[in-house]
Structure 1
Amino acid sequence: MAETEAQVSKTMKKSLLIVNCFILVIGNCCGPLIMRLYFLHGGKRVWLSSFLQTAGFPVILLFLFICYFYRKQHGDDDHSSTIIFMKPPLFVASAVLGIMTGFDDYLYAYGVARLPVSTSSLIIAAQLVFIAGFAFLLVKQKFTSYSINAVVLLTIGAAVLGLHTSGDRPAGESKKDYLFGFFMTVGAAALYGFILPSVELTYNKARQAITYTLVLEIQLVLCVFATLFCTIGMLINNDFKVIPREARQFELGESMYYLVAVSSAIIWQGFFLGSIGVVFCASSLLSGILISVLLPVTEILAVIIFKEKFQAEKGVSLALSLWGFVSYFYGEMKQSKKKSKNHKSETELPQISDQVKFYERLHCAPTVYRKVACIL
């Protein structure tokens, strides 16, 4: 019975992983595009774009209510009447991560405002390097020669972009602003590379069972504090006063302005919900890999939709990134096969070890007892 329940739990977790991967795909591919759409057609408020990345958090409440009613109907004795799972230490950790996420949102929005999507996406791919490094330091993530190779290739790919940055600089933008946007995007990649392993560390250190409902609560608190951080920035920058005027001057029309804003909030919420869900179902490193592996999709969509330039440097960077992805996944396949073989050998090991211990004891016993034992 226990084995059956474990199998059901494992199957549910795999299904949940697939759902979160799907949500992450939509958020990761469409989020940068809709944000760039805002800036290309007259939008100039960086703090507003930062705010919209987490302002869709009310969507999480819908999922939380579904989880609550599911527990109530299925008679969970421990939590069927409890709405909130989170304990104070976990709340504080989630709030701190939320503030960091808000700052990361600002760095990323600033970069997208200055850089083409195809360029910013390639830079963001470098966050896998930071995720890998912080995952090693914070959650003791193990590495193979293949994963190290992937990290090196992605680092070189990002460096190639930095060698010739003026080729795809948008018209009317100074080289100083372009470079500043470049380094702000690198900063965003580094900070988010720290946040994802920190989320995994929070799961590991939490003194309570980590359920998907609790993961949703963590995400809710994280987004609320990130949104509050960006709201303060908007108040200081007087963004709320400028929004109506900017909407009227938006090139695609006022109604389209608000539609872009609402769509951006919902799509970005899918990105954050998907990424943190993958961390829960697997690991922060896998979440980072999935975010990076979607790079070619975003890259192609940006070139098609926004007619962005695709120079040789981007081609080299993209090739190195894809090479890194293939290297990583090949290493993971070999590692999983090795683990399955070790697991099979471990199941046979106790019987062998018992026989060895028996013969060791037999060897140390007096001669008469050894003869009797061998006869028996």
Structure 2
Amino acid sequence: MEVESHVSGQRDIHERENKRTKLILKRSVLYINCVLLAIGTCGGPLLLRLYFVHGGKRIWLSSWLETAGFPVMIVPLVVFYFLRRKNSSEGTRSKPFIITWRLFVGNMFLGILIGVDNYLYSSGAAKLPVSTSSLLVSTQLAFTAGFSFLIVKQKFTSYSINAVVLLIVAAIILGLHSSGDRPDGVSNKEYYIGFIMTLAAAVLYGFFLPATELMYKKTKQGITYSLVLEMQVVMSMFATAFCTVGMLVNKDFQAIPREAREYGIGEAKYYLVLVMSALAWQFYFLGAIGAIFCASSLFSGIMVSVLLPVTGILGVIFYKEEFTSEKGVALALSIWGFISYFYGEIKQSKKQTPPNTEVLDSTTDAAANSLNHDYEIERRNGGSFRHSTSIRVAPG
């Protein structure tokens, strides 16, 4: 009896230590991804606007920059591959990629969709202040809710309907009364074209999230962090390819040296702006998918939604943009809409969650297990990488 009690006590201590280690790991990974997401959400639009403010005029080039930094994600993928090869029963025969052909094709089409979205967003960013474009992009939450209802049969609540109405009203207020903040050299016609293009980008991105959710539901493959990175690389690769075709047709590659020489703050800083912009957008993508995997898509959406008004305020600070009363009203309505939507989502998730469980902890536990025990999963499946964790891309 004493021996059994001693063994049981040792087992309990070991389980507590493992739980504490996983908790530290999951929080560390989540915090890192939140920092990356904050840098990308705020830095990407600000650097893109900096390119246009000082003389940049190439829409396809700026669109290309939003995904062209995807090779940086190859580094963690190589690390994951060597870990799999080291701990796999197949050894050097372990597959370098775990994405299936069906999932590859799905992500290819989503990548082209992102390329179109990048072009629309860059076209709007060339003609609108950061503060205005950020508020317009925030309306994607309303479009996400609508497309989720149509594509994945997402149920509407009174909170989500309220959020949709508030965000639409905010966009209408900006469209009717805020043209007075248009940048120098931009005509009223160009301003409203930029307004429409940015709104169209928000609509397309609103479609992208439910489409991604549908793809996850249809796939037969288990979702892991390394697989998510591979999918992001595939999407970014095809989005970049789409924008590269536009650059070739528009002769942007030939125009880069000339544009650099004429850039308002110098040739060296021109190239620095391009490189930093590409990195900032990759931080955004890495942070977003990392937050989804370590917590949930709802948490990732909350982070982006909270940061968008911050981006608008930073635009006012750094670029001396006019913060009109209409923008203030639109900002208040947008924040109200966010709070309403996410409060409704949280209430809904609590109804669907069994008592005494925490959604965030359960999902981040799964992420930590995936990061810690890939080799065990690999060995059990004879080298075939699988995981029970699934990523649900919910509205927001």
Offset at residue 272 of structure 1 (A) = 2.0
State which drifts further: 226-235 or 161-170.
161-170
- The answer to whether structure 1 residue 202 and structure 2 residue 245 are counterparts is no
**Partner in structure 1 of residue 96 of structure 2:** 83
Change in CA separation of 1:163 and 1:178 when aligned onto 2, cut-off 3 Å: same
Contact 2:178 2:327 in 1 (8 A): no
User: Is contact 2:124–2:133 with CA below 8 Å preserved after alignment?
Assistant: yes
Looking at structure 2, the residues matched to 292 and 2 of structure 1 have their Cα atoms a distance apart, in angstroms, of: 37
Aligned to 1:58: 71
1:178 maps to which residue?
Answer: 191
1:209-228 paired onto structure 2 within 5 Å: 209-228=222-241
User: How far does the alpha carbon of each residue in 1:206-249 deviate from its partner, in whole angstroms, 9 at most, with x for none?
Assistant: 11111111111110011111001000000110111110010011
Gaps of 5+ in 2: 1-13, 358-396
Name the counterpart of 1:323. Answer: 336
- Per the alignment, residue 384 of structure 2 pairs with none
- Alignment of 1:93 onto 2:106: yes
CA distance in 2, matches of 1:172, 1:76: 64
Moved more, 316-325 or 270-279: 270-279
| Cα deviation code 1:274-311 (max 9, x no counterpart) | 22334445555554443222122101110110000000
**Higher mean C-alpha displacement, 158-167 vs 253-262:** 158-167
User: Alignment length, in residue pairs?
Assistant: 344
1:125 aligns with 2:138: yes
Q: Specify the SS of the correspondent of 1:42.
A: coil
- What TM-score results when the alignment is normalised by the length of structure 1? 0.83
Partner SS state of residue 179, structure 2 = coil
Q: Distance in 2 between matches of 1:305 and 1:4?
A: 47
Whichever of the two has the greater Rg, that structure is 1
TM-score, length-scaled by structure 2 = 0.79
Residue 157 of structure 2 corresponds to 144
Distance 1:342 1:251 in 2: 60
* C-alpha RMSD over aligned residues: 2.8
Conserved 8 A contact 1:196-1:284? no
Q: Deviations over 1:104-159 (max 9, x none)?
A: 00000000000000000000000011112222333343443223322221221111
Q: 1:310 aligns with which of 313, 323, 328?
A: 323
- Structure 2 letter corresponding to 1:323: W
* Aligned counterpart for 2:285 among listed residues 268, 272, 277: 272
Q: Distance in 1 between matches of 2:312 and 2:320?
A: 11
> How far did 1:87 drift?
1.1
In the TM superposition, what whole-angstrom CA distance separates every residue of 1:314-373 from its partner, at most 9, and x where no partner exists?
0000011111222233334434544456578xxxxxxxxxxxxxxxxxxxxxxxxxxxxx
Shift in alpha-carbon separation, 1:216–1:6, aligned structure 2, 3 A: farther
Q: CA deviation at 1:4?
A: 11
**Contact 1:151–1:324 (CA<8 Å) still a contact in 2?**
yes
**Would the alpha carbon gap of residues 132 and 79 (structure 1) be closer, same or farther in structure 2, given more than 3 Å must change?**
farther
Report the equivalent of 2:201.
Answer: 188
Name the stretch that deviates more: 318-327 or 105-114. Answer: 318-327
Residue 159, structure 1, aligned to residue 172, structure 2 = yes
**Which shifted more, 229-238 or 14-23?**
14-23
